[in-house]
């Protein structure tokens, strides 16, 4: 689990709109081993990420990484990403992985 917070004041010389300075991001990921046998291992993966509309990332790299992964421009509004998948592997001989993700956005 990762959590981040930001306190970014777009109009630092004024007290106008100071109620929208604080933002947060939460990122949860998990892995569960379902089956472990001589025929191979099966795991399920899951993740959840939520960014409220006021969160400002500390680096511009997050924006670039998002655009490369989703092939759409990053947004400054609320963002929610859910993902899950299943992995089957047989020692170092075979690996098969299937993932599904969903993205929900609201513009700021």
pLDDT category, 108, cuts 50, 70, 90? Answer: low
- Indicate the pTM of the whole model: 0.71
Give the tokens for residue 44. 């399920």
Specify the pLDDT at position 99. 96
* DSSP one-letter string for the chain: -EEEEEE--TTTT--TTGGG-EEEEEEEEEEEEEEEETTEEEEEEEEEEEE-TT---SSTHHHHHHHHHHSS---SS-EEEEEEEEEEEETTTEEEEEEEEEEEE---
Specify the pLDDT at position 88. 96
Q: Could you tell me the residue ranges of all domains in the chain?
A: 2-7+21-105
- 46-102 residue pLDDT tens: 999 999 988 877 766 566 666 767 667 666 778 899 999 999 999 888 999 999 999
Specify the pLDDT at position 26. 93
- 19-45 residue pLDDT tens: 777 888 999 999 999 999 999 999 999
Give the tokens for residue 14. 């004024």
């Amino acid at each position: 689990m990762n959590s981040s917070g930001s306190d970014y004041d777009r109009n630092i010389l004024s007290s106008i709109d100071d109620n929208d300075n604080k933002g947060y991001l939460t990122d949860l990921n998990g892995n569960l081993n379902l089956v472990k046998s001589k025929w191979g291992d099966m795991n399920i993966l899951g993740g959840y990420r939520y960014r409220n509309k006021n969160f400002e990332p500390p680096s511009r790299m997050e924006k670039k990484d998002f655009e490369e992964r989703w092939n759409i421009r990053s947004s400054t509004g609320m963002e929610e990403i859910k993902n899950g998948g299943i992995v089957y592997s047989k020692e170092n001989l075979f690996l098969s992985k299937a993932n599904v993700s969903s993205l929900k956005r609201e513009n700021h």
